[in-house]
């Protein structure tokens, strides 16, 4: 299959696509857009693997999202009526990862200190997230697979954990998905050998308050990330880029992320797509 680009993080098997999943996938593949289908708990990880096994040009990642280790509201776009917590079962995820050659990574995993529930025991929830994250880092090491990291309001802690693994002689490789951190944080991930990926958020106009205070924008950060360490993604069905903002996102829209990055880096769209395609193939060995 002749792919021009790969959406490095999508949830194309989520419930948001229950009525037209095959049509969305076909539309993307026909224009040369492959994708990684990413799981967020056992149910969606199983669906991601099934989707990848069904289609050329799609690969899967399996993992437990940090917000699913405690009882929480679940977006209807993801799955129906499931808010029960899941404890990371390394044996179950190991078996799933080994089930198919199309499984190329572990995740979406990490830490999310943004969505902590009101009135809950926040320290207990954070500790449960840390335990699940460490379990997935251990599994990634065992299977020699990269990780797909989700991080909100916890970059320093995620980075310290990754640095601990490196210092112990057990380095982790992977990608920081939907990066919205600072250039200083990005530099620490790059120093660990990680890739950094950007979504449609990068196409959104920066907040006037941030510009007025002279804060660095996401575009400022992306401009400094070397192209050979960058991935492009949609996080579909979420975060549709301009000109589709507010709509359901889909993998074919990743071309708009590529176009925006080409503009801020003053290179051609073809160069961005060619290099990020090479990057995702190298990281996930596809």
Within the chain, which residues score under 50 in pLDDT?
none
Instruction: Report the CATH number of the 5-284 domain.
Output: 3.20.20.140
Q: Say if CB 228 and CB 279 are below 8 A apart.
A: yes
pLDDT at 213: 64
pLDDT of residue 211: 67
CA 226, CA 234: separation in Å to the nearest integer? 20
Q: Which H, E and C letters describe 136-203, residue by residue?
A: HHHHHHHHCCCEEEEEECCHHHHHHHHHHHHHCCCCCCEEECCCCCCHHHHHHHHHCCCEEEECHHHH
- pLDDT score for 204: 97
Rounded CA-CA distance 282/286 in Å is 7
CA 279, distance to chain mean position in Å, is: 14
Looking at residue 73, what is its pLDDT?
63
| Own/partner long-range contacts of 78-82 (Cβ < 8 Å, ≥24 apart) | 78/11, 78/14, 78/15, 78/16, 78/40, 78/44, 79/14, 79/15, 79/43, 79/44, 80/15, 82/41, 82/43
Please give the structure tokens belonging to residue 264. Answer: 């801020």
Q: What residues does 109 pair with on adjacent strands?
A: 149
Cα distances (Å, whole numbers) of residue 111 to 108, 131, 146, 151: 10, 10, 17, 5
Q: Can you give the pLDDT at residue 250?
A: 98
Residue 10 in contact with residue 33, Cβ under 8 Å? no
Strands 147-152 and 103-112: parallel
The rounded distance, in Å, linking the Cα atoms of 220 and 176 is: 17
pLDDT of the residue at 75:
74
Q: Which two tokens stand for residue 202?
A: 């990068």
Domain boundaries, the chain: 5-284
């Amino acid at each position: 299959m002749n792919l021009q680009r790969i959406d490095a993080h999508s949830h194309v098997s989520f419930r948001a696509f229950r009525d037209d999943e095959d049509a969305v996938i076909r539309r993307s593949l026909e224009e040369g857009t492959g994708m990684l289908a990413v799981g967020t708990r056992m149910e969606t990880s199983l669906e991601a693997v099934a989707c990848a096994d069904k289609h050329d040009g799609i690969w899967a990642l399996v993992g437990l999202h940090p917000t699913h280790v405690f009882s929480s509201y679940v977006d209807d776009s993801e799955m129906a009526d499931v808010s029960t917590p899941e404890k990371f079962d390394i044996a179950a995820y190991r078996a799933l990862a080994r089930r198919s050659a199309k499984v190329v990574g572990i995740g979406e995993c990490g830490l999310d200190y943004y969505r902590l529930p009101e009135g809950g025991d926040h320290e207990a929830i954070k500790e449960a997230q840390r335990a699940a994250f460490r379990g997935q880092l251990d599994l990634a090491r065992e299977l020699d697979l990269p990780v797909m990291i989700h991080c909100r309001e916890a970059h320093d802690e995620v980075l310290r954990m990754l640095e601990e693994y490196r210092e112990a002689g057990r380095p982790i490789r992977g990608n920081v998905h939907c990066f919205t951190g600072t250039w200083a944080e990005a530099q620490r991930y790059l120093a660990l050998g990680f890739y950094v990926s950007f979504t449609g958020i990068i196409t959104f106009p920066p907040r006037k308050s941030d510009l007025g205070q002279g804060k660095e924008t996401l575009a400022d950060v992306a401009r400094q990330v070397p192209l050979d360490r960058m991935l492009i993604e949609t996080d579909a069905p979420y975060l549709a880029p301009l000109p589709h903002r507010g709509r359901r996102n889909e993998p074919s829209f990743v071309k708009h992320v590529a176009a925006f990055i080409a503009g801020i880096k003053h290179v051609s769209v073809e160069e961005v797509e060619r290099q990020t395609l090479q990057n995702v193939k190298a990281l996930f060995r596809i």
